Amino acid sequence: MAASQDDTIRNNWQREEVLALFNQPFNDLLFDAQVMHRRHFNPNQVQLSTLLSIKTGACPEDCKYCPQSARYDTGLEKEKLLEIEAVIEAAKAAKASGSSRFCMGAAWRSPHDRDIPKVAHMIREVKALGLETCMTLGMLSEEQSEKLASAGLDYYNHNLDTSKEFYGEVITTRTYQDRLNTLSNVRNSGMKVCAGGIVGMGEKQQDRAGLLMELANLPRHPESVPINMLVKVAGTPMADQADLDPFEFIRTIAVARLMMPKSYVRLSAGREDMNEQMQAMAFMAGANSIFYCEKLLTTPNPKANTDMQLFERLGISPEPFHVDKSNDEQEAELHQALAEVKTDSQFYPAG
């Protein structure tokens, strides 16, 4: 289609255009997405991020998918904000395993002003290790965004979750505009934006199209777009939600790539339930970032060694670190990290 062949960054997508992309023949859609992907990225490199929960549970929001909501009995134990030393140790381990970005998440509706100095300290310490930093702390005010940016935070994650029309079926304790306001505050502070959504929550294809349209029509595309598959957790209202067709998930990845050509599209939550073939197809469709750790806040994720085995079979390598070091230093550090992973007793080269 003409839209998929155009390299121009657009911020004026219409729902009918997006649905037309979704409903192309599957092979045509994947071909167009792969062509677009190759124009802007190395198709055989994937960016690795690690996500740590720095404050778990007791969130006052009513997000129907979330085990961290205080409104649902999911058996999750509450934890206070981690001490800085624990965060630094986790970041060191993430870097040693090959991650280039360290993401920190707190189950807050929004952070209290008294919490900002402590999370700012975390940002500075993690950056000192040579890692990119990302946080997701809920809604941010203009002042809070500026303070986190001043501390050196590279990315702030705040997902739209779904379309504006379906949003009320998922969350009632904050509005869609609240989420857009936070993204605006983050962007205006100079930080990079990480914003995506969740599919498989009972929404229609038009809602998946609506989500991507909202993201692509922001004044500037998010630099990182996580696409999450619903992880069904006992005790949440969505525990018994019907599975989304895997091909529809891949279509969502591909359309995101076509609409936001220069953004990193992250294969995010739900990977634990995806077989290798589905993950490989997602990379073909334009996904070029993953969370690389055994847990995403409170939900399981494939082990690092499993990911490295799949990468080796597919001929994929981790994207080099984007830090202020020479190319030789970055390459040596990456090879060292991969060597440490491969010497683990559970790792073996796949045949």
Q: Of 44, 90, 98, 50, which Cα lies nearest the Cα of 347?
A: 98
Catalytic-residue membership of 293:
no
- Three-state SS for 2-57 is HHHHCCCCCCCCCHHHHHHHHCCCHHHHHHHHHHHHHHHCCCCEEEEEEEEEEEEC
Catalytic-residue membership of 66:
yes
Catalytic-residue membership of 266:
yes
Other Cβ atoms closer than 10 A to 205:
15
Q: Which residues contact 314 (CB under 8 A, 6 or more apart)?
A: 44, 280, 283
- As a whole number of angstroms, the distance between CA 91 and CA 50 comes to 8
Three-state DSSP class for residue 243: coil
Let me know: does 161 contact 143? Beta carbons within 8 Å: no
Rounded to 5 degrees, φ, ψ at 81 are -55, 130
- As a whole number of angstroms, the distance between CA 3 and CA 284 comes to 19
Confirm whether residue 293 is marked as ligand binding. Answer: no
- As a whole number of angstroms, the distance between CA 79 and CA 89 comes to 18
Query: Choosing from 101, 134, 174, 271, which is the catalytic residue?
Result: 134
Catalytic-residue membership of 103:
yes
Query: Choosing from 103, 179, 208, 251, which is the catalytic residue?
Result: 103
Terminal Cα-to-Cα distance of the chain (whole angstroms): 39
Three-state DSSP class for residue 220: coil
HSE on the CB side for 270, CA within 13 Å?
Answer: 24
Query: Choosing from 194, 257, 271, 293, which is the catalytic residue?
Result: 194
User: What's the helix, strand, coil split of the chain in %, to 5?
Assistant: 40, 15, 40
Query: Choosing from 179, 208, 266, 271, which is the catalytic residue?
Result: 266
- Binding residues for [4Fe-4S] cluster, as ranges, are 59, 63, 66
- Binding residues for [2Fe-2S] cluster, as ranges, are 103, 134, 194, 266
Active-site residue list: 59, 63, 66, 103, 134, 194, 266
